[in-house]
Amino acid sequence: MKLKNDLIIRAAKGERVERVPVWMMRQAGRILPEYRAVREKAGSFIKLATTPELAAEVTIQPVDILGTDAAIIFSDILVVPEAMGLPYEMLEAKGPIFPKVIQTKKDIDVLRIANPEKELSYVLKAIDIVKKELDGKVPLIGFAGAPFTIFCYMVEGKGSKTFSVAKKMLYSDPELAHLLLQKITDTTIAYLKAQVKHGADLVQIFDSWAGILSPDQYRKFSLPYIAQICDAINEVPVTIFAKGAFFARKEMSNLKCEVIGLDWNMDISESRRMIPHKTLQGNLDPCVLYGSFKEIEKQTKKMIKNFGGQKYIANLGHGVYPDTDPEKVKCFIEAVKNYTI
């Protein structure tokens, strides 16, 4: 299907664009009252994420309401461990909880390398619906969590500021850690390839907990597995977003991906020097959107000027916060669209 708006695809490939494309991490979510209405109808987050028709509806909302240049499929990174045989619960105000965690080789042995068409069919059906409904209006972004980030939840069993239980395994039993990381990687590759087969126009890998590792540990326990994914996904552009991994930017420039996402702590000029041949994405501090409309426009223009108009996709440095005024979000998006390059 020919895309009516292919700005993000062209920017990802390093091709020349007429204006900077823009989308936001967590754009399909709690900032929109329309999302909250669908979420209430679903009854729970997991029910929403696993009901293709509802997931498709909230995927498309930001395109129609906010005017983003791409949709990103509404799902959760933790559908991967669940598909592997480690289910989770989503508790209100507490986040994800895994009743069972990975502690031994036996625990890993009983995990399966998921068949996406079977265990993750609800995500793929949602992609099918979104592609049909969008009818080429904008590209659809697929995604998955990076293996190390998924590993953190599977070993820790819940969210954490330090993930000290998960990190303990890296030091106390690295062979076991690598065994689990490889199994997650194999599932993730199959999952992303299935998303592409069903119509994802590009994919993003979220390494949300990259910043809790030392540079040495990141080189051992995260980058090699991300590299495997980049090597395997060659059908569409791939974006790597590793929050907090400012120390790994040089190594990321060598990955076989098209786009590197930056968080707001990563200096733009420095990042351009370290990653000269790839498209960059980011990196406005989400808290800027709490500012006045004038301040949002000022900071957005400053950001784009620093990145330059080409080989660049405008985004936030992390996901938009749930109490952000949708009108402020629209201001950010319009400021990007109105910037002359």
Catalytic residue annotation:
26, 30, 39, 76, 153
Q: Are the CB atoms for 158 and 202 separated by under 8 Å?
A: no
Output the CA torsion sign for 157, 217, 314, 141: negative
Number of H helices, E strands in the chain: 17, 9
Smallest CA-to-CA distance from 330 within 305, 300, 310, 309 is with: 300
Q: Are the CB atoms for 134 and 69 separated by under 8 Å?
A: no
The Cα-based distances of 239 to 37, 99, 282 in angstroms read: 31, 32, 11
Smallest CA-to-CA distance from 164 within 123, 217, 115 is with: 217
The beta strands (E) that lie in 184-266 are given as: 202-207, 238-242, 259-261
Cis geometry, peptide bond prior to residue 283 (ω within 30 degrees of 0): yes
- HSE, CB side, 13 Å, CA atoms: give it for residue 211: 15
Q: Are the CB atoms for 56 and 48 separated by under 8 Å?
A: no
DSSP letter (8 states) at residue 321 = P
Say which residue the tokens 């992609």 belong to: 127
Backbone region of residue 5 per phi and psi (left: phi > 0; alpha: psi in -120 to 50; beta: other values):
beta
